[in-house]
Amino acid sequence: MAKDESALRDREIPRPSHPLRRHAPLPGSHPKSGAEDPEARLRVERLVESPAYREGSEDPDFLRSGAARGVRLDLDYLKPELQLQSHAVTDAIVVFGSRAIRATGRAHPREVPLLRGRAPVWGARGRSSGASRRRKARDRDRRGAGSDGGG
């Protein structure tokens, strides 16, 4: 056993070959002729058209997959960030919301003043002042109900 180990240690590790200069061409550098392999062209076409052959950035199925969600989110943040930088914008206010605009008759009652152009006064927690008052009253009622054990 010791003899085998010493032989392995003394053996020289070969250096990797040069990536461009080769003694013999790689098998794929000279494809077979149609006479040698009549189906070769068809197999190559199928391979190139396969979804597995597409680059990730060019594959819509991959980009829509759950595995690529993080990358999509990064792109969603990167694009506006680069646009803001290109216009030398250093500060901005971001408004989150829905792209869908509903008709007044189909809107939630809280949305109606917004649709009519009358914005409600917002409290410190992002709710309208009326909602803040109702929330505080509800919380007060719950605390009272919980203290007597009737909640």
**77 within 8 A of 65, measured Cβ to Cβ:** no
Does 126 map to a domain?
A: yes
pLDDT in tens, 36-78: 888 888 888 898 888 888 888 889 999 899 999 999 999 888 9
Which residue's entry shows tokens 């917002």?
A: 122
What's the pLDDT at 151?
43
Domain total in the chain: 2
Does 78 map to a domain?
A: yes
Region 22-49: what's the mean pLDDT? 80
For the ranges 70-79, 113-122, 140-149, the one whose mean pLDDT is highest: 70-79
Rounded Cα distance, 78 and 84, in Å: 10
Which residue's entry shows tokens 């109900």?
A: 145
Domain boundary among 43, 66, 90: 90
Range of the domain at 74: 51-90
Does 115 map to a domain?
A: no
Which residue's entry shows tokens 């009253």?
A: 137
What's the pLDDT at 69?
92
C-alpha 56: how far from chain center: 12
Which residues touch 50 (CB under 8 Å, ≥6 apart)? Answer: none
Does 130 map to a domain?
A: yes
Does 64 map to a domain?
A: yes
Rounded Cα distance, 48 and 59, in Å: 13
Record the pTM: 0.35
Does 109 map to a domain?
A: no
Does 39 map to a domain?
A: no
Which residue's entry shows tokens 């030398």?
A: 88
Instruction: Name the β-bridge partners of 128.
Output: 122
What's the pLDDT at 150?
46
